[in-house]
Structure 1
Amino acid sequence: MMRIPVSAILTTGMALTSASASAQTYDPGYPVCLQTYGRDGNAISCGYSSLAQCKASASGRAAQCIVNPYFARPQAEPRRRSRTLPGVSE
């Protein structure tokens, strides 16, 4: 009697955990993305370092270039502070 509910719970749990994960749409390594439109659906590919480069790929296609909202800008080097304070002489 206990076998039916347990197997139903296990089957449901496996089905829920094996749901396909969607790939990340925006690559944080590039600042510009190409969004294409087609019969099979729309696609976004981020692999462009400039708008000009992206526009060359988009030319003549049902596509547009967009700024990547998830672009991870390189971190700037922290500025070194002077050890002496202004107005204080050593």
Structure 2
Amino acid sequence: MRLLACTILTIATVLMVAPTRAQTYDPNYPVCIQTYSIGGGSIDCSFTSLAQCAASASGRSAQCLNNPYFTQGSRKPPRQRGVY
């Protein structure tokens, strides 16, 4: 019984301590920068233009890319006219 309690406590501790990742792509910005490093890379979507991102990526091991989850404000799909 003591072993079971210790195992459950260990698993709970590991799950609580494990780092969580935030959402990678911010849907409010159209351009992202992907940086590369030995320990891993990161993606930062906080740029409003490719030129702004390119200036930040200059001289670094990074590339700019379009945000696949970008949403343009309150853009609504066009209404379909039905045949009545």
Task: Give TM-score scaled by structure 2 length.
Answer: 0.68
Structure 1 residues without counterparts, runs of 5 or longer: 80-90
**1-structure distance, mates of 2:39, 2:4:** 41
Aligned-pair CA distance for 1:51: 1.1
The structure whose Rg is larger is 1
Structure 2 residues without counterparts, runs of 5 or longer: 79-84
**1-structure distance, mates of 2:50, 2:70:** 14
**1-structure distance, mates of 2:71, 2:77:** 17
The amino acid that maps onto 2:15 is L
Q: After the TM superposition, which of the residue ranges 26-35 and 54-63 deviates more from structure 2?
A: 54-63
The amino acid that maps onto 1:46 is C
**2-structure distance, mates of 1:74, 1:20:** 31
Aligned-pair CA distance for 1:16: 2.6
**2-structure distance, mates of 1:15, 1:41:** 22
SS at match of 1:46: strand
Aligned-pair CA distance for 1:23: 2.5
Cα-to-partner distance string for 1:33-69 (whole Å, 9 max, x where unaligned): 1112233432211111011211122223322110111
Task: Give TM-score scaled by structure 1 length.
Answer: 0.65
**Structure 1 residue runs of 4 or more that deviate by more than 4 Å after TM superposition:** none
How many percent identity over aligned positions? 54
How many residues end up aligned between the 2 structures?
78
Task: Name the residue aligned to 2:26.
Answer: 27
Distance 1:37 1:7, change over 3 A: closer
Task: Name the residue aligned to 1:41.
Answer: 40
